Amino acid sequence: MSREEVASPERRAAAVAEALVEQGAVPDASLDSLAAVEERLDWRNGARVVAKAWTDPDYKARLLSDGTAACAELGFEGPQGEYIVVVEDTPDCKNLIVCTQCSCTAWPVLGLPPDWYKSPAYRARVVREPRRVLREMGLDLAPRVAVKVWDTTAETRFVVLPLRPEGSEGWSEDQLAAIVTRESMIGVARVTLPA
């Protein structure tokens, strides 16, 4: 097998689309809908899921027992979202997601992966020295906090349910969704209140 650098998923998808149209295999119009699908893949969807889980205990229970179904309840489903597994942060345990093989994420709720997540450095180091990588990314964990690293695959797309920050009591779902970040759902950051 070749060890050459592989182009990004976006570039590969564009090349496939171009070839299909050129050969007349698909009409242009059906590819427009593919572009629309990509636009729907937004980590802000995940922020809505987290905010709902923080404010609705029944929803949170459903989310933790069947992530795929609970995300679909809010309309977030589709390619690379078939096997969503949600892991919950606690004061004593920090969850962290990586795809050591490539760059899998749960597209419907995390969107396409950010560049740092795809980097060989993150993928290799976060398994060996997660605390150090987290510290470099600005998250200093107390020694008593355990770190769990989850290796996402094609069949388990992990998403972190971060801790709800102190001081956000009584906030609406919309307010909460606005402070959830993509990084917090990958597990490399906490959710904090705006300064």
Q: Give, as ranges, the residues between 96 and 155 that touch Fe ion (CB under 5 A).
A: 99, 101-104
Nearer to Fe ion, 123 or 131 (CB): 123
Q: How far apart are CB 103 and Fe ion at their closest, in Å?
A: 5
Both tokens of 116, joined, read 């740092």
- The verdict on whether 93 is a catalytic residue reads no
- The verdict on whether 30 is a catalytic residue reads no
Nearer to Fe ion, 70 or 104 (CB): 104
- What is the sign of the dihedral through the CA atoms of 44, 46, 50 and 56? positive
- The verdict on whether 104 is a catalytic residue reads yes
Residue nearest to Fe ion (CB): 104
- The verdict on whether 102 is a catalytic residue reads yes
In the set 65, 102, 119, 172, the catalytic residue is 102
Q: How far apart are CB 150 and Fe ion at their closest, in Å?
A: 12
Stretch that binds Fe ion, among 13-21, 95-103, 156-164, 172-180 (CB under 5 A): 95-103
Burial 71-106 (b: 16+ CB within 10 A, else e): bbebebbeebbebbbbbebeeeebbbbbbeeebbbb
Nearer to Fe ion, 127 or 145 (CB): 127
Catalytic residues: 99, 102-104
Binding site for Fe ion (CB under 5 A): 99, 101-104
